[in-house]
Amino acid sequence: MSATRIDDRIVRVDAMEKARGEAEYVCDIRFPGMVYGTLVRSTVARGKILSIDVPALPEGYSFITADDIPAEGRNELWMIAKDWRCFASGDVRYVGETIGILCGPDRGMLSYLKKHIAISYEEETPAVTIDEALALKGGPIAGEDNIMCSLYCEKGPKMDDVFRQADSIFEETLETGFQEHVHLETNSAIVRQEDGRFTFYISAQCPFYVRKSVSGLLGLRPEDIVVKQTTTGGAFGGKEHFPDVLAGPLLVACNKIHKPIKMVFDREEDMLYSVKRHPSKVVFRTALDKEGGILGIDGKIYYNCGAYLSASYVVLQRGVFHANGVYDFPATHLEGYGVATNTFPSDAFRGFGAPQTLFAIEMHLDHIARKFGYDPAEYKARYFLRKGGETVTNGHIVEDVKLPEMLEQIATASDYYRKAKEYGIGSGRGIGISFYNHGGAFTGNGEQAIIKAHARLVKEGSRVRIEVGSTEMGQGFQTTLRKIAANALGISISQIDYPNPDTSRVPDSGPTAASRSTMVVGKIVEDCAREMKERWDEGDFSVEKEYVHPEGHPWDQDTFRGDAYLGYGWGACIVEVEVDRLTNEVRTVGIWSSHDIGKAIDELVVHGQVNGGIIQSLGYASMEKMENRDGRFRQSSMSDYVVPTSMDFPSQEWFLVDNPYQWGPQGAKGMGELVFNGADAAYVDAVERALGVTVVKIPIPPEDIEEAIENAR
Amino acid sequence: MAVRNYIPETLEEALELRRDEHAIPLAGGTDIMVQHREGIGIAPDVGKPVMIISNLAELKGIRRRDDGFVEIRALETPASIASSDIVPWHVRQAAARMGAIALRNMATIGGNIGNASPKGDLPQPLILLDAEVVVASVGSERRMLLDEFILGSKKTALRDDEIITSVLIPEKEFTHLFYRKIGTRRANAISKLSLSAAAVIRDGIIEDFRASSGAAGPKVIRSREAESLLTKRQVSEIPDIADDFIAAWDRAISPHAMPRYRRNTTSRMLLHFLEALQDETLTGIIG
């Protein structure tokens, strides 16, 4: 067996078993005596529960509610904040809120019983949109003003002074909608007791999050609960915290009935009753000089958090920190507000708050550039951040910024400058461009202060086992991490094992989120592997290491000042479209991207991430419309909530620039979210140019383009 | 709760089951299985006996008849219809764009008609072409225009002892043809709006003009009133008639959701077709 090197292009280690259908998912697993669980949910967006009438349950069936949480437990799911209740009790705050879990052996009978549980409510007026919540429609949901969390950051001279010097002011409001994850495998979990401990088999990104979140329901410690991640068929953030919403009721029920319980959402449940990307509203007010140069940007950022804070404050922080995009403006003041509404709580989704503000700043600059007659690419390039440049949190960019080189790459490949001039505004053809970045890993010193990740390598004979809590969810981490280890050990990737994590056996390497796995966990594994290689002849042994925080990254989590991120991935994207003037259908004729991810650990994995991330972003911009009326999502299937097919965005030309990152394995930085963060704005820019319209809200399916055309008249 | 389901082996047996049990015919199941889904691990509950008719040889085949009709038997799939060279162009276009590849191999023309969704792909071009539908019951058969068979959204004239057996399309040569389906995306999509149009122009006279709109009202819409404004008129008169024609068509359609988009797009497509009729260099399929 020859040693695997980083630059070898290899077939993903999990490709065959998944392609053959051999991989075992939660829905494939059965245990003796296992029963099924189904959630009984609120059908109103806001109200008091007056009564719950449960029909006489046949033998072997039970209905479990908040009343079944033992005295030593607390009715809360711990997802950064602890406000999300496991079971609604007394009142309900959104459609789909869990009221109880019905358990029993036959799923047909469960469905029948579920239809016969009668819950009566005293309904109240819900606030569903950001505007409704800010207007306190129906009275406040959270606090006195529905603002669940807020922060600001600023740099440069005071805004009042900046605006006093302005020749003109450009103000606009930019909005983004809900987005559904549409992971191929729906949410699912099994709980049972094994050797006296509650044990989960669960489709999840973060097994250690699950045990931390639910253990308090029974007054237990996290380590009293075992979480075994099962092969996970996609997540995109939708299985970061949300599995807790399944695991909580399952745990309380298992504590009551002492049988294995399995719960698998069907697609409709997974669409209607799961977390979504935060809808956003960004108001930019920009002070301009006579030539349209930017003196300063004042931004107000609102995220629709839904009924519970849960992880939203951190999402909002990332949104605010990315709200000046890849640019160094002389002055900025950014305020972020997390707004409580009566919708299903919003939560993690690839990009984690960054895509919304990046979209807003990109469109805003496009609109200013067009107003003053500049090419958006040239206009934006004036403000590119450079090494040493100041970020919005008064930190500094510590790496070389390769954006000029990346712009050159994609502009040449796409023939951007010629096309931008030749295709007139409103000609039906358009080419658009965007730039974006993504701060790798947890914000500030979170990796050091909060996570303190551990990773372990175990040598048994000539084989080496990776023990981490990090998960494969389709993104390719099984391949990436094994490759890092094999490369550092100088052995073949086929000698490395990396079982799905079991929290009772592996150290906590932190959540598989925040584009941190390759950059942070990969580095710890690489360090372990280096030591193991030196001691290779010692026989069987293990090496465990803790994360070491790079020096020189000051951060104050109370004031949000300093280096918000250890390093950034950078991206540039060009999209070319032709719009059918009869139907407003947009045909994408070209997509060009360039990314700086430090170093690609596996080019095939990276290729998949680039293609997938860009297509997901283009879907977000063009067709993925999730509407919520009166607190109810209107799209409930994959035929009415459409995600792109390969016919919609058939080909991409992609580039990487080499820019090794000092603290990453082999120079790698995070990239899983970066590739989602910007193609949307390039697409919308292209459509705007093709039609001579201004778009301030995505998505823009043909019927919304119709509206933009009418508005332009 | 126990319901008997059947797999008849002949059309005769199926018609008897239909008469005696009012059994619901299931051919591809691509609508029934979705409409009656009950969740993972639970059998769909149709509420009535179901008979699986997928294998009835009598209901298969596409042929050109001697009487000027193309006959498509009810169990033919969109895949086979799309690849048949005797099926009229508009119908092949619609069949080729239905759903996903798997669906196009499972669904049937009989089912697509019987489901009577205003978004259904096949009824729209069939109604354009004055297609007729044949329905059978034990010992008898009826034949009527598809436009009359489909009564409204999800409503047809099918009686509970009848089965759709075939579709008859009058063969007709058109000098100008137009078909567009605007889906929710470029493939595997439900129709957001669709339009077919066709015309026969000879010696500067519009001998035949027709159009049909899908997903623009409770059923496929043809407006004979609007069409009559153009038929038998001179091509050179189109500029004078166009506004009245578009207005008449707009009155005929009644889109519920996204009305402005559906109305404006329909008008733009019809105008585009009318412009093509006036351009002597353009005949055949109008892009």
Residue A586 has pLDDT above 80, yes or no: yes
Q: Which residue has the tokens 């008091």?
A: A48
Backbone angles phi, psi at A655, to 5 degrees: -130, 155
How close does chain B come to A249, measured CA to CA in Å? Answer: 19
Interface of A with B (CB under 8 A): 27, 36, 107-108, 111, 264, 266, 581-585, 623, 639-640, 642, 644-648, 701-703, 706-707, 710
List of residues 6+ apart from B230 with CB closer than 8 A: B199, B206, B209, B238, B241, B245
Nearest CB to A582; choose among B39, B184, B272: B272
Residue B45 has pLDDT above 90, yes or no: no
A36's tokens = 């099924």
How close does chain B come to A647, measured CA to CA in Å? Answer: 6
Interface test with A, best of B1, B3, B30, B42 (most A CBs within 10 A): B42
Measured between beta carbons, the chain B residues lying within 8 angstroms of A644 are 185
A93's tokens = 């705050």
How close does chain A come to B181, measured CA to CA in Å? Answer: 10
pLDDT of residue B24: 96
> Mean pLDDT in chain B?
96
Measured between beta carbons, the chain A residues lying within 8 angstroms of B262 are 703
List of residues 6+ apart from A341 with CB closer than 8 A: A126, A127, A128, A129, A130, A132, A133, A141, A146, A304, A305, A306, A307
pLDDT, average across residues B219-224: 97
Question: Environment class of residue A653 by beta-carbon count within 10 Å: exposed (0-12), middle (13-18) or buried (19+)?
Answer: middle
Q: Do A706 and B264 touch (CB under 8 A)?
A: yes
Measured between beta carbons, the chain A residues lying within 8 angstroms of B40 are 27, 107, 264, 266
What confidence tens digit (pLDDT) does each residue in A356-404 have?
999 999 999 999 999 999 999 999 999 999 999 999 999 999 999 999 9
Query: Which stretch of DSSP H or E encloses residue A77?
Result: strand A77-79
Yes or no: say if A95 and A74 are a contact pair by the CB < 8 Å rule: no
Closest CA to B51 of B185, B160, B175: B160
Nearest CB to A264; choose among B40, B260, B272: B40
pLDDT of residue A444: 87
**What do you get for the CA distance between the two ends of chain A, in Å?**
68
What confidence tens digit (pLDDT) does each residue in B113-140 have?
999 999 999 999 999 999 999 999 999 9
| DSSP string of A569-583, one letter each residue | EEEEEEEEEEE-TTT
What confidence tens digit (pLDDT) does each residue in B142-191 have?
999 999 999 999 999 999 999 999 999 999 999 999 999 999 999 999 99
d(CA A598, CA A571): 12
CA–centroid distance for B127 within its chain: 6
Interface test with A, best of B1, B38, B186, B270 (most A CBs within 10 A): B186
Q: Which residue of B has its CA nearest to A709?
A: B261
Yes or no: say if B48 and B23 are a contact pair by the CB < 8 Å rule: yes
Interface test with A, best of B3, B192, B261, B272 (most A CBs within 10 A): B261
Measured between beta carbons, the chain A residues lying within 8 angstroms of B260 are 703, 706-707, 710
What confidence tens digit (pLDDT) does each residue in A127-162 have?
999 999 999 999 999 999 999 999 999 999 999 999
pLDDT of residue B3: 77
Closest CA to A319 of A270, A358, A275: A358
pTM of the model: 0.97
Query: Which stretch of DSSP H or E encloses residue A685?
Result: helix A679-691
List of residues 6+ apart from A554 with CB closer than 8 A: A395, A562, A563
Q: Which listed CATH number (3.30.390.50, 3.40.50.2000, 3.40.50.2020, 3.40.50.720) goes with B176-285?
A: 3.30.390.50
pLDDT of residue A429: 98
Nearest CB to B182; choose among A583, A644, A646: A583
Question: Environment class of residue B275 by beta-carbon count within 10 Å: exposed (0-12), middle (13-18) or buried (19+)?
Answer: middle
With cut-offs at 50, 70 and 90, classify the pLDDT of residue B255.
very high
Which residue ranges form the domains of chain A, and what is each CATH number?
Answer: 15-23+446-546 (3.30.365.10), 31-124+183-235+239-272 (3.90.1170.50), 280-443+560-712 (3.30.365.10)
- The rounded percent of chain A whose pLDDT value lies above 90 is 98
With cut-offs at 50, 70 and 90, classify the pLDDT of residue A445.
confident
Residue A656 has pLDDT above 70, yes or no: yes
Output Rg (C-alpha) for chain A, integer angstroms.
Answer: 25
d(CA A526, CA A233): 27
d(CA A665, CA A489): 13
d(CA A596, CA A673): 13
What confidence tens digit (pLDDT) does each residue in A102-114 have?
999 999 999 999 9
pLDDT of residue A650: 87
How close does chain A come to B265, measured CA to CA in Å? Answer: 5
Nearest CB to B39; choose among A27, A111, A584: A111
Residue type, B198: A
Sign of the alpha-carbon torsion through B104, B105, B109, B115: negative
Measured between beta carbons, the chain B residues lying within 8 angstroms of A105 are none
- Is the CATH number 1.10.3720.10 carried by domain B57-170? no
Break chain B into its structural domains and give their ranges.
57-170, 176-285
What confidence tens digit (pLDDT) does each residue in A612-637 have?
999 999 999 999 999 999 999 999 99
Nearest CB to A107; choose among B42, B193, B264: B42
Nearest CB to B265; choose among A266, A583, A639: A583
Measured between beta carbons, the chain A residues lying within 8 angstroms of B185 are 623, 642, 644-645, 647-648
| DSSP string of A198-212, one letter each residue | EEEEE--S-HHHHHH
Q: Which residue of A has its CA nearest to B270?
A: A582
Give the SS3 label for residue A494: helix
pLDDT, average across residues A557-586: 96
Measured between beta carbons, the chain A residues lying within 8 angstroms of B35 are none
pLDDT of residue A1: 76
pLDDT of residue B2: 65
Interface of B with A (CB under 8 A): 37-43, 180, 182, 184-190, 192-193, 258, 260-262, 264-265, 268-269, 272
